[in-house]
Chain A
């Protein structure tokens, strides 16, 4: 079963606006990762945040993690049409068995 629940399921914004996606999970984690998927094919790793971190930045991406609420958010600033894709969160359990559990994803459309 999937651990991560993401919202919204779909998001449509204009180029230049910010996009925020949220992810909630159920069990304790080692880390939480965000991936992007274009055209229903392979996923690309975007950013990882460890359970003892609260915020992390990478270029136009900002990820926050609240372990007390078991939730994370991904913010994409100054969005571009090329950011149009599906975004998935994935959690690595605290026992670090190596298995990632993926959420259902948020589909982002950035209109030029």
Chain B
């Protein structure tokens, strides 16, 4: 079946502009995650959606970052007034939270470059 997809694959924007990144999780996966990965670094947790529960936003670095998820489907990550330090690969993952193991399936990522 189809895996996690993300769009766009690459985004170049100017400092101060807003960007929207999209994630389509695997159908039926109740949990969805956003991570940020700066060049040569590990994954930095941003936000986590679990079914209809309130999202865990504890990883969002500032109020310029927000994310929404419609039911158990598409999610968008919005970065307002982008800064150069926002340049990174943004990865989305989904999982079957009903599984106690919580193996996560990752999308290919969106590479964001802020000029």
The interface of chain A, by Cβ under 8 A from chain B, is 2, 4, 30-31, 33, 35, 40-45, 48, 50, 88, 90, 92, 96-105
Contacts and interface: CB of A to CB of B under 8 A. Distances in A.
A72 B44 CA distance: 20
Interface stretch (B61-69, B77-85, B100-108): B100-108
Contact of B89 (A40, A92, A98, A104): A40
Contacts of B25: none
B89 A41 contact: yes
A30 B103 CA distance: 12
Contacts of B48: 98-99
B104 A45 contact: yes
A50 B99 CA distance: 13
B33 to A, nearest CB: 8
Contacts of B93: 43
B43 A42 contact: no
A45 B107 CA distance: 12
Given A41-B89, A104-B42, A98 B97 contact: yes
5 contacts: A43-B43, A43-B93, A43-B104, A48-B101, A103-B42
Contacts, number: 66
Given A98-B31, A101-B45, A42 B108 contact: yes
A99 B42 CA distance: 15
B46 to A, nearest CB: 11
Interface of B: 4, 31, 33, 35, 37, 39, 41-45, 48, 50, 56, 89, 91, 93, 95, 97, 100-109
Contacts of A31: 101-102
A95 B46 CA distance: 19
Contact of B106 (A4, A43, A50): A43
Nearest to B51: A98
B29 to A, nearest CB: 11
Nearest to A104: B42
B23 to A, nearest CB: 11
A41 B105 CA distance: 12
Contacts of A41: 89, 108-109
